[in-house]
């Protein structure tokens, strides 16, 4: 017999057993020490579950050990407080739980578990909490300080009991996080027959992020007599947009979705050369055109620029695709939620490519403020170490729980990323070339009449205005609704189901619901058939009462939009039911020429496809290049040991230091395909270059995935920055043996706002940096025959906080996806055996400007970063890469490692880490590349196109022969023992102990605990 | 006749692709079977000769790894699973699949197949998830059919909750005596055999499991579960240090386990 609904509190903690620590508490303790320098003797974590249901007391009792507590290793309770059970009350107790409406994945899982036991409890609710109890913390640390560390007020609540409360056993207790129903607002209309000032006000107040030209274009549209007559017929106000229409236009036209800066007409002037020219779209000129030119010569570029990711043919049976996205603004506000949403979001881009691709590998590249930053943090921002930990944790959960290995990545540190961290999440996908019904899987095949399904999660008030919000700078008022927490399990179930549906031929068209929600996903696909009808009343909601425009633009996660032929709908729905995935018909595709939205019987929007996708006026911008002035690099005079010390300090710089503690907690081997892993070498702790995967189990054809990122060089010239990024990605790929005839790239630009305004007085300079970076991308990709098959830009990476503007350094992440003919011939970066012979491939020049060394010396108080930046000679590099690749195919190469941050000296040390060896090199031959080289430039300069190679002594001659015609200096040998030394003309210029170097390299970025 | 393997899927299981692949490589015919297809009887376990529960993050590991999927099997498939095990068919659970088998009480298990949980897999002492390679040694005296004739293999571990424990210390002796503590972490620098009870230092033992246990079998030796991933070392080029080794490329060290099960079915 059902009893009345009540709320019960269940608590769980680790059982007291010898040899079983409370590892959750220990993790908190070591995090407090590592990130905050706080010493606490002991921390205990109690997990709490509040269950709102109408089950009986007896049934509830069974939940303690059948559901919440593990009967072997945990103790559970119901109704009482576990804090009462400790003989010594803690000194502080803090309970943390989510705010109402925030995704609670554990709570959702708990509810699923509850319905496994009591299937009729579908309307029950479960909320989770964690209670932290502290003993013997430093006196200077208040419970409120601890609470501030343990929760993010943007998404969580905390209840705190201090020493006095704890002594009285007055424990903290949070209320059940009940989401009040939303207040339904009748569809409204917006009068645009107003002054320009008022148009801007409408845009700003509504967080629409539309400029005056765009508002005027919308105004003009609603003055068109033809438009007015159509609207009259459909029952919409003829002369003005509805709120939903304006929102839909704002989403579609947002910088985030339509890349207005890359599409702009730019007048570019160069103060050095006197150039004064006009560029009609950086994207079309410098990214699309080179790729189209390459496409004319090759047959493997299957689908570029128009889908959620670019697709290339890998072999006769399989094609592959790649995409990377950034999730910067949400990660600044809630590092965990922002990052997990970023990674599962880009997975959906892959799932939404063609008729659906399977995500098989993730890449993660982060840019943070320095983890040891000791300056003031502007209000509203987190310390970089907390951003780092949260983002890492989010990406770890998102990737691991989705069963997608994280195969490659990078972490870059610079103080200017304190304002906005950059969180690049990339995914590689795999799909069969042909489906069993004969369709090519990279081609979408929608028809008018196909039914539009929304699949996966439900729509809530979370994630409203993400696209437009990310097109604005970050301020203290940034809305918490723009933050979400991804739910990898809901998505994983959906992913399994979608891929089965694809293979069964049930999908005609598919895309993900990301920025702009249904307005973008249905709108974009409507462009393919020439129209769509959508009924918002059919859309399943997380909470009742959402207004029409909110349902239309909400970016609630874990949703795909799928077009299904009416004859397949029953099968599609049955498959969804099997996988316990919600799939709801919400509309249909048409060829009416319009995107028509209603909410039940109420008309909500009617936008012509032409206006929606082509109506946004082109921006007209100006850029002006004037090279910046920096103090030159100043290098001291040091003996060999002093130089060894410099190398040790470079290795301990966060940009160079080992990221092992962090990277190990990503699953990089699920799918059983990982050939060259993030860690290589005898002790599995040396850095790998590119990843090599063999995604067809048992097959020996592989894929190479690598990244290049070099934002430092933007401080002198963004051309050099972009060139260095592309070269680094390719260099890394060459190191493992990529097939140079099948390589493709992906450009992700993250820029500060480059539009001149009162807030951005240096906009012309920042835009000139963008122009130069694009020109480098064009030049280098053409020379490398490296087509960009997809890309993304994020153009507002500024934070305005407390009146202070912090802009990120202009950053290009270049990701590369290439073929590998035979993974059994892949090469790793670690030296293999003492006695092996060491070569440096590529030329070295005196190029210390903006090098990692220059920043270190400047940070230590000497000089600046000014000087020559690495200049690229892509043809010369490519000849060397081709020669080296041929040597690898002949199995003449024992190891290959790229020279990047910290130059040759760092590269040599890293190769030795992998072999537990030393090395002795004589770098005299480098002076044949460049007469005015100095030892600093030789050891620590970051000239492009260079790879440090070793061969077995017996292969030396064949290797040298194979490298004829390209610069390849024999510089030394791998040695047994602990010593690494560099000499010039018989004179030792640097020597160091490998153990000392290893300790420096490993000591900086340790995350605490073991 | 190729043995048919039911490789369970759904709810966040995510190693089904490679688990199917290794059984195919070992000469079996593997099918991905969504748990709900067994629950709603679209498919029947009795039609298969081997059952595998692959690794993954079923239900996101919320409420304890393997717990919620274990409950789905314990409450939704109780009789099918018992019938499968008592009819002498091999079962393997890898990583999350092992956690599922332990939480549903099939491992270390008992002669009656009572499905009573007696052990658990607690959070690693490090408190977090890790992906690193470990060396396993198998008990030559064990009745486990999956590890017969194998001495050591190198395999990746990829888990946050892999510390094998129980709340009744006498059970550890009992399981040791009956050869059920079949797979242990060992120091690769030692020579075979060297498995011992004293916990090895981190990271040789990645999780500080009691008695270095990495995997256990049931009293019959047919049901086997382990935290590390033998299916992730199906080919030599997936090894952690293969680029440093002189080797002839071919099957990886993890394959022996799957060959054993297929052979067992063919010989039955």
Check residue A517 and give its pLDDT. 87
Do B123 and A23 lie within an 8 Å CB cutoff? Answer: yes
- Cα separation, A612 vs A607, whole angstroms: 6
**Is residue A227 in some structural domain?**
no
- Cα separation, B204 vs B187, whole angstroms: 6
Check residue A1 and give its pLDDT. 45
Q: Residues 52 to 71 of A: which have CB under 8 A from any B CB? A: 66-68, 70-71
| Å between B234 CA and nearest CA of chain A | 8
For A677, which residue in chain B has the nearest alpha carbon?
B240
Which residues, other chains included, contact A47 with Cβ-Cβ below 8 Å and sequence gap of 6+? A11, A12, A13, A24, A68, A128, A129, A130, A131
Looking at residue B212, the DSSP 8-state letter turns out to be G
CATH classification at residue A120? 3.30.1280.10
Domain end (from A143, A167, A191) = A167
Q: Where is pLDDT greater, at B48 or A553?
A: B48
Check residue A476 and give its pLDDT. 47
Of A514, A601, A596, A519, the C-alpha closest to A553 is A519
Q: Residues 234 to 253 of B: which have CB under 8 A from any A CB? A: 234-235, 237-238, 240-241, 243-244, 249
Q: Is B109 on the interface with A (CB under 8 A)?
A: no
Is the distance from CB of A752 to CB of A766 less than 8 angstroms? Answer: yes
Of A49, A137, A50, the C-alpha closest to A93 is A137
Q: Is A646 on the interface with B (CB under 8 A)?
A: no
Q: How far is CA A48 from CA A128, A155, A196, A327, A559, in A?
A: 6, 18, 54, 31, 29
Contacts of B122 in chain A (CB under 8 A): 14, 20, 23, 73
Judge if the upstream peptide bond of residue B83 is cis by omega within 30 degrees of 0. no
CATH classification at residue A939? 3.90.650.10
Question: Given B60, B165, B208, which is nearest A105 (Cβ)?
Answer: B60
Of A148, A141, A130, A136, the C-alpha closest to A40 is A136
- Cα separation, B79 vs B34, whole angstroms: 17
Of A104, A177, A179, A189, the C-alpha closest to A545 is A179
Is the distance from CB of A360 to CB of A673 less than 8 angstroms? Answer: yes
Is the distance from CB of A546 to CB of A459 less than 8 angstroms? Answer: yes
Contacts of B163 in chain A (CB under 8 A): 20
- Cα separation, B113 vs A984, whole angstroms: 73
Is the distance from CB of B160 to CB of A664 less than 8 angstroms? Answer: no
- 3-class secondary structure per residue, A917-936: CEEEEECHHHHHCCCCCCHH
Domain end (from A167, A196, A218) = A167
The catalytically annotated residue of A256, A392, A442, A821 is A256
**Is residue A162 in some structural domain?**
yes
**Is residue A982 in some structural domain?**
yes
Token reading at A660: 């092992």
CB atoms within 10 A of CB A604: 25
Is the distance from CB of B252 to CB of B238 less than 8 angstroms? Answer: yes
Contacts of A406 in chain B (CB under 8 A): none
The catalytically annotated residue of A151, A268, A327, A969 is A327
Catalytic annotation on B231? yes
ipTM computed for the complex: 0.97
Token reading at A435: 């489906």
- Cα separation, A141 vs A158, whole angstroms: 17
Domain end (from A167, A189, A214) = A167
For A853, the domain range is 634-657+827-1010
Mind listing the pLDDT tens digit for each residue in B228-266? 999 999 999 999 999 999 999 999 999 999 999 999 999
What structural domains and CATH numbers belong to chain B?
4-267 (3.40.50.880)
Which residues, other chains included, contact B7 with Cβ-Cβ below 8 Å and sequence gap of 6+? B16, B19, B20, B23, B30, B31, B32, B33, B52, B54
- Say if strands A702-709 and A691-693 run parallel, antiparallel, or are unpaired: antiparallel
Of B231, B232, B235, the C-alpha closest to B248 is B235
- Cα separation, B178 vs B173, whole angstroms: 9
Contacts of B133 in chain A (CB under 8 A): 684
Mind listing the pLDDT tens digit for each residue in A629-639? 999 999 999 99
Check residue A709 and give its pLDDT. 98
Task: Write phi, then psi, for B121 (nearest 5 degrees).
Answer: -120, 105
Is the distance from CB of A713 to CB of A707 less than 8 angstroms? Answer: no
- Cα separation, A633 vs A858, whole angstroms: 8
Q: How confident is the model at residue B188 (pLDDT cuts 50, 70, 90)?
A: very high
Do A694 and B21 lie within an 8 Å CB cutoff? Answer: no
Catalytic annotation on B95? yes
Q: Is B165 on the interface with A (CB under 8 A)?
A: yes
The helix/strand/coil state of A559 is strand
Of A113, A173, A146, A145, the C-alpha closest to A25 is A146
Helix axes A874-889, A763-784, angle to 10 degrees: 40
**Is residue A474 in some structural domain?**
no
Question: Given A73, A488, A682, which is nearest B244 (Cβ)?
Answer: A682
Residue in the block written with tokens 């153990």: A995
- Which residue stretches of chain A have pLDDT < 50? 1-2, 476-479
**Is residue A39 in some structural domain?**
yes
Which residues, other chains included, contact B108 with Cβ-Cβ below 8 Å and sequence gap of 6+? B102, B118, B119, B171, B175, B180, B216, B217, B218, B219
Helices and strands, number each (H, E), in chain A: 32, 39
**Is residue A953 in some structural domain?**
yes
Token reading at A909: 């040390």
Looking at residue B1, the DSSP 8-state letter turns out to be -
**Is residue A407 in some structural domain?**
no
Residue in the block written with tokens 């199995």: A891
- Cα separation, B48 vs B5, whole angstroms: 6
Token reading at A780: 């280098």
Contacts of A110 in chain B (CB under 8 A): 62-63
Angle made by CA atoms A433, A436, A437, in degrees to the nearest 5: 105
**Is residue A424 in some structural domain?**
no
Specify the number of domains making up chain A.
2
- Cα separation, A630 vs A276, whole angstroms: 25
Do A830 and B243 lie within an 8 Å CB cutoff? Answer: yes
């Amino acid at each position: 017999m059902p009893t009345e609904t009540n709320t019960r509190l269940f608590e769980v903690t680790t059982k007291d057993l010898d040899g079983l620590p409370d590892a959750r508490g220990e993790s908190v303790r070591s995090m407090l020490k590592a990130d905050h320098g706080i010493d606490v003797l002991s921390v205990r974590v109690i997990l709490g579950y509040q269950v709102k249901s109408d089950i009986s007391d007896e049934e509830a009792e069974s939940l303690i050990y059948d559901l919440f507590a593990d009967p072997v290793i945990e103790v559970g309770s119901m109704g009482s407080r576990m804090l009462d059970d400790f003989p010594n009350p803690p000194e502080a107790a803090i309970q943390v739980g989510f705010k109402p409406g925030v995704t609670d994945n554990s709570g959702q899982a708990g509810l699923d578990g509850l319905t496994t036991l009591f299937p009729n409890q579908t309307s029950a609710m479960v909320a989770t909490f964690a209670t932290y109890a502290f003993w013997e913390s430093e006196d200077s640390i208040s419970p409120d300080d601890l609470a501030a560390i343990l929760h993010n007020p943007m998404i969580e609540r905390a209840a705190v009991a201090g020493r006095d409360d704890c002594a009285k056993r007055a424990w903290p207790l949070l209320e059940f996080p009940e989401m009040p129903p939303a207040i339904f607002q009748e569809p409204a209309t917006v009068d645009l027959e107003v002054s320009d000032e008022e148009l801007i006000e409408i845009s700003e107040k509504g967080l629409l992020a539309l400029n005056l030209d765009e508002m005027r274009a919308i105004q003009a549209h609603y003055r068109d007599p033809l438009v007015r007559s159509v609207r009259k017929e459909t029952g919409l106000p003829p002369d003005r947009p509805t709120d939903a229409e304006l929102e839909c236009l704002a989403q579609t036209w947002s910088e985030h979705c339509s890349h207005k800066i890359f599409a702009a007409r730019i007048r570019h002037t160069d103060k050095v050369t006197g150039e004064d020219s006009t560029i009609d779209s950086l994207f079309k000129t410098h990214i699309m055109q080179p790729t189209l030119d390459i496409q004319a010569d090759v047959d493997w570029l299957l689908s570029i620029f128009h889908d959620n990711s670019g697709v290339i043919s890998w072999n006769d049976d399989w094609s592959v695709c790649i995409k990377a996205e950034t999730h910067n603004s949400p990660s600044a506000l809630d590092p965990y939620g922002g990052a997990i949403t970023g990674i599962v979001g880009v997975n959906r881009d892959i799932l939404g490519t063609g008729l659906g691709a399977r995500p098989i590998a993730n890449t993660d590249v982060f840019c943070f403020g320095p983890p040891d930053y000791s300056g003031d943090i502007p209000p509203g921002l987190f310390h970089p170490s907390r951003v780092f930990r949260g983002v890492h944790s989010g990406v770890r959960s998102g990737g691991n729980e989705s069963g997608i290995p994280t195969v490659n990545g990078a972490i870059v540190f610079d103080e200017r990323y304190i304002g906005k961290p950059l969180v690049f999440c990339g995914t590689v996908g795999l799909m069969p070339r042909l489906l069993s019904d004969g369709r090519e899987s990279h081609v979408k095949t929608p028809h008018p009449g196909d039914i539009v399904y929304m699949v996966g999660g439900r729509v809530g008030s979370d994630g409203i205005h993400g696209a437009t919000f990310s097109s604005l700078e970050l301020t203290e008022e940034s809305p918490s609704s723009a933050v979400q927490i991804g739910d990898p399990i809901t998505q994983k179930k959906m992913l399994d189901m979608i891929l089965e549906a694809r293979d069964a031929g049930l999908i005609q068209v598919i895309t993900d619901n990301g920025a702009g929600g249904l307005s973008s996903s249905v709108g974009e696909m409507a462009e393919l058939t020439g129209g769509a009808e959508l009924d918002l009343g059919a859309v399943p909601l997380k909470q009742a009462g959402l207004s029409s425009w909110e349902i239309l633009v909400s970016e609630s996660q874990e949703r795909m939009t799928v077009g299904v032929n009416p004859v397949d709908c029953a099968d599609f729905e049955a498959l969804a039911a099997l996988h316990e995935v919600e799939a709801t018909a919400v509309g249909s595709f048409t060829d009416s020429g319009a995107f028509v939205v209603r909410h039940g019987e109420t008309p909500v929007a009617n936008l012509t496809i032409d206006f929606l996708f082509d109506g946004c006026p082109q921006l007209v911008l100006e850029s002006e290049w004037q090279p910046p002035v920096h103090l030159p690099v100043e290098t001291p005079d040091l003996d060999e040991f002093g130089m060894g010390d410099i190398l040790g300090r470079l290795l301990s710089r966060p940009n160079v230091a080992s990221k092992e503690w962090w990277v190990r907690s990503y699953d990089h081997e699920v799918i059983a395909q990982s050939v060259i892993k993030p860690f290589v070498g005898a002790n599995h702790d040396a850095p790998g270059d590119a990843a090599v995967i063999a995604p067809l189990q048992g097959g020996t054809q592989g894929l190479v995935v690598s990244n290049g990122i070099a934002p430092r060089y933007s401080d002198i010239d963004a051309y050099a920055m972009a060139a260095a990024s592309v070269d680094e990605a390719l260099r890394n790929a060459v190191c493992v043996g990529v097939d140079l005839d099948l390589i493709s790239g992906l450009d992700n630009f993250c820029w500060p706002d480059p539009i001149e305004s009162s807030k951005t007085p240096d906009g012309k300079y920042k835009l000139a940096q963008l122009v130069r970076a694009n020109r480098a991308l064009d030049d280098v990709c053409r020379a490398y025959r490296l087509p960009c098959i997809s890309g993304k830009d994020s153009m507002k990476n500024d934070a305005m906080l407390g009146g202070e503007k912090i802009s990120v350094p202009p950053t290009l992440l270049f990701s590369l996806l290439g073929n590998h003919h035979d993974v059994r011939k892949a090469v790793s970066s670690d030296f293999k055996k003492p006695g092996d012979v060491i070569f440096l491939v590529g030329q070295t020049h005196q190029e210390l400007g903006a090098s990692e060394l220059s920043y270190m010396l400047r940070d230590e108080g000497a000089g600046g970063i000014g000087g020559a930046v690495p200049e690229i000679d892509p043809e010369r590099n490519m000849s060397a890469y081709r020669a080296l690749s041929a040597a690898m195919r002949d199995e003449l190469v024992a190891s290959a490692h790229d020279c990047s941050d910290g130059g040759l000296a760092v590269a040599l040390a890293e190769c030795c880490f992998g072999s537990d060896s030393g090395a002795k090199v004589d770098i005299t031959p480098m002076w044949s590349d460049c007469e005015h080289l100095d030892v600093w430039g030789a050891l620590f300069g970051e000239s492009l196109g260079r790879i440090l190679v070793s061969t077995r002594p017996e292969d030396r001659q064949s290797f040298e022969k194979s490298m004829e015609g390209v610069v390849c200096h024999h510089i030394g040998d791998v040695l047994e023992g602990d010593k690494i030394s560099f000499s010039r003309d018989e004179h030792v210029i640097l020597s160091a102990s490998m153990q000392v170097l290893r300790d420096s390299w490993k000591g900086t970025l340790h995350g605490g605990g073991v | 006749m190729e043995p048919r393997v039911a490789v369970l899927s759904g709810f966040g299981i995510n190693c089904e692709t490679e688990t199917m692949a290794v059984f195919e490589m070992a000469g079996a015919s593997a099918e991905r079977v969504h748990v709900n297809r067994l629950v709603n009887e679209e498919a029947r376990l009795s039609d298969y000769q081997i059952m595998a529960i692959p690794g993954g993050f079923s239900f996101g590991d919320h409420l304890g790894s393997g717990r919620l999927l274990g409950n789905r099997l314990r409450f939704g498939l109780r009789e099918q699973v018992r019938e499968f095990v008592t009819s002498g068919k091999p079962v393997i659970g890898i990583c999350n699949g092992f956690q599922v088998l332990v939480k549903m009480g099939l491992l270390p298990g008992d002669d009656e197949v009572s499905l009573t949980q007696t052990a658990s897999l607690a959070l690693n002492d490090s408190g977090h998830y890790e992906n690193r390679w470990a060396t396993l040694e198998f008990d030559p005296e064990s009745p486990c059919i999956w590890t017969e004739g194998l001495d050591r293999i190198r395999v990746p571990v990829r888990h946050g909750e892999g510390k094998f424990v129980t709340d009744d210390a006498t059970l550890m002796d009992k399981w040791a005596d009956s050869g059920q503590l079949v797979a242990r972490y060992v120091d690769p620098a030692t020579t075979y055999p060297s498995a011992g009870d004293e916990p090895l230092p981190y990271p040789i033992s990645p999780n500080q499991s009691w008695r270095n246990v990495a995997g256990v079998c049931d009293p019959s030796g047919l049901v086997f579960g382990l935290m590390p991933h033998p299916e992730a070392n199906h080919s030599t080029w997936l090894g952690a240090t293969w680029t440093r080794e002189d080797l002839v490329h071919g099957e990886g060290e993890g394959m022996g386990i799957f060959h054993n099960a297929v052979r067992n079915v063919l010989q039955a």
